[in-house]
Amino acid sequence: MLKVSGVHTFYGAIEALKGVDIEIGAGEIVSLIGANGAGKSTLLMTICGSPRARMGRITFEGQDITQMPTYELVRLGIAQSPEGRRIFPRMSVLENLQMGSITAKPGSFANELERVLTLFPRLKERISQRAGTMSGGEQQMLAIGRALMSQPRLLLLDEPSLGLAPLVVKQIFQAVKDINREQKMTVFMVEQNAFHALKLAHRGYVMVNGKVTMSGTGAELLANEEVRSAYLEGGH
């Protein structure tokens, strides 16, 4: 479904991605783990064309999207809940969700809204609150909910569990699992919480310093000694 081949991305003179190859099949949950600054967020943003890959190729369902304008990707079915949530602070929760559905089919808004609010009942209680005044966890739910509003086929999640209480983390991962199973949505997820991420995922990649160094099924990576010592030390 998504194929990233030989992608290099630069911030000025800094090379953040140094030839990344990744492939994601339809219906999969794929997790990407790696240390801070490894280039995980850069990879997700490069898939969306911002920043743009300087070398290499990205295809989505066979179509070359390497040079496609960012705003068109969501029409193809790619949605992202980016690093730092980036909700619109001076809009209400409802308006944020409406922003998520600008490319959705007309008439589907009410259904999609219903679905997202069932997934995150917390958002329903807060529907007219200014998003910037919500708690971090609520903002995270909003960011994911907003990405879901476009009914994407590929959902990109950047650290969905960041800053959340263990119980909420569990809910979010459960939600990802449900969406994947019930709606056949493909999920590509960046996570610090390597244990949960690999347990949930069908497959995983490990990124070090702008390069993919390891890949395998979630179970394989969880069992791998290197992965355990680098990312799972101290338990989960």
Partner 1 sequence: MEYFLQQLINGLSLGAIYGLIAIGYTMVYGIIGMINFAHGEIYMIGAFVALITFLAIGSLGITWVPLALLVMLVASMLFTAVYGWTVERIAYRPLRSSPRLAPLISAIGMSIFLQNYVQILQGARSKPLQPILPGNLTLMDGAVSVSYVRLATIIITIALMYGFTQLITRTSLGRAQRACEQDKKMASLLGVNVDRVISLTFVMGAALAAVAGMMVLLIYGVIDFYIGFLAGVKAFTAAVLGGIGSLPGAMLGGVVIGLIEAFWSGYMGSEWKDVATFTILVLVLIFRPTGLLGRPEIEKV
Ligand X SMILES: Nc1ncnc2c1ncn2[C@@H]1O[C@H](COP(=O)(O)OP(=O)(O)OP(=O)(O)O)[C@@H](O)[C@H]1O
Q: Determine, following the binding rule CB under 6 A, whether residue 13 of this chain makes contact with ligand X.
A: no
Q: Which is nearer to ligand X, 13 or 110 (CB)?
A: 13
Which residue type does 84 have? G
Q: Which is nearer to Mg ion, 82 or 137 (CB)?
A: 82
Q: Determine, following the binding rule CB under 6 A, whether residue 42 of this chain makes contact with ligand X.
A: yes
Eight-state DSSP code of residue 52: P
CB of 82 to partner 1, least distance (A): 7
Piece in contact with ligand X (CB under 6 A), picked from 20-28, 32-40, 58-66, 177-185: 32-40
Binding test (CB under 6 A) with ligand X, winner from 13, 14, 110, 167 = 14
Looking only at residues 35 through 74 of this chain, which bind partner 1 when binding is defined by CB under 8 A?
Answer: 48, 50, 69-74
Binding test (CB under 6 A) with ligand X, winner from 7, 39, 82, 138 = 39
Cα–Cα distance, 81 to 144 (Å, whole number): 5
Question: How many chain residues are in contact with ligand X, going by CB under 6 A?
Answer: 12
Q: Is the dihedral of CA 161, 167, 168, 174 positive or negative?
A: positive
Alpha helix stretches (DSSP H) within the chain: 40-47, 70-76, 93-100, 109-119, 121-125, 136-148, 166-183, 194-200, 218-223, 225-231
Candidates 25, 146, 136; CA nearest to 97 is 146
Binding mask 73-112 for ligand X (x = CB under 6 A): ----------x-----------------------------
Tokens of 70: 């960012």
Give yes or no for a cis peptide into 166 (omega within 30° of 0): no
Question: How many chain residues are in contact with partner 1, going by CB under 8 A?
Answer: 29
Burial of 202 (0-12, 13-18, 19+ CB in 10 A): middle
Q: Determine, following the binding rule CB under 5 A, whether residue 92 of this chain makes contact with Mg ion.
A: no
Q: Determine, following the binding rule CB under 8 A, whether residue 146 of this chain makes contact with partner 1.
A: yes
Binding test (CB under 6 A) with ligand X, winner from 25, 26, 37, 133 = 37
Piece in contact with ligand X (CB under 6 A), picked from 33-41, 53-61, 102-110, 165-173: 33-41
Question: HSE-up of 232 (CA within 13 Å, CB side)?
Answer: 15
Q: Determine, following the binding rule CB under 6 A, whether residue 204 of this chain makes contact with ligand X.
A: no
Q: Which is nearer to partner 1, 82 or 160 (CB)?
A: 82
